[in-house]
Amino acid sequence: MNRDLIAGAVLLAIAGAYYVSIGTIADSTLSDEVGAAGLPLALAGLLALIALVMMARAVLATRAARRAGGPVAAVEDDEEGDASVPRALGLLLIGAAYVVLLPYAGYVLSVALLIAAVAFYEGAARSWVIPAAAIGGAALYWAIFVKLLGVHQPAGILVQGWLS
């Protein structure tokens, strides 16, 4: 039940940070009696209360389990039990790299790199398929978003500079 204790602490921290930020809301006479800060205050309080109850329950459960002499926390049958958290976070980092790269490298190049990087990271066999999928995918998405739908995607500062 240790997990719940940590979760409770994180929730309490969120409630605290949120509460502190309420101070940045301007006070306006255009507002009503509840005010712009009304609901946020209630939410911060509610979340803090939930967090405290959750932590208290986690502590009590651990104690009760200890007293009973049983294992502290029974390992539950867990679908995420074999999860590799660093691997999952790595995938997110690739996404973050895309976000940083996008304004500079432009849409087409960034998407191609993203597809290639993810495919490689997820263990695709090193072959011509990776670059082929990357180029094909970038072309496909460019055709759908930019050409067909006509929505804007960044052209890329570096690419533009190089072209002109």
Measured from the CB atom, the residue of 45 and 66 that comes closer to other proteins is 45
What is the nearest approach in angstroms of other proteins to the Cβ of residue 143? 12
Q: How far apart are CA 36 and CA 8, in angstroms?
A: 27
As given in the structure block, the two tokens for residue 27 are: 């006070």
Per-residue exposure over 71-101, b if at least 16 CB sit within 10 Å of its own CB, e if not: eeeeeeeeeeeeeeeeeeeeeeeeeeebeeb
What is the nearest approach in angstroms of other proteins to the Cβ of residue 158? 15
**Cα dihedral across residues 104, 110, 114, 116: positive or negative:** negative
What is the nearest approach in angstroms of other proteins to the Cβ of residue 22? 8
CA distances to 28, 111, 159 from 105, in Å: 44, 10, 6
Measured from the CB atom, the residue of 72 and 140 that comes closer to other proteins is 140
Q: How far apart are CA 67 and CA 49, in angstroms?
A: 27
Measured from the CB atom, the residue of 72 and 96 that comes closer to other proteins is 96
Measured from the CB atom, the residue of 127 and 161 that comes closer to other proteins is 127
What is the nearest approach in angstroms of other proteins to the Cβ of residue 104? 11
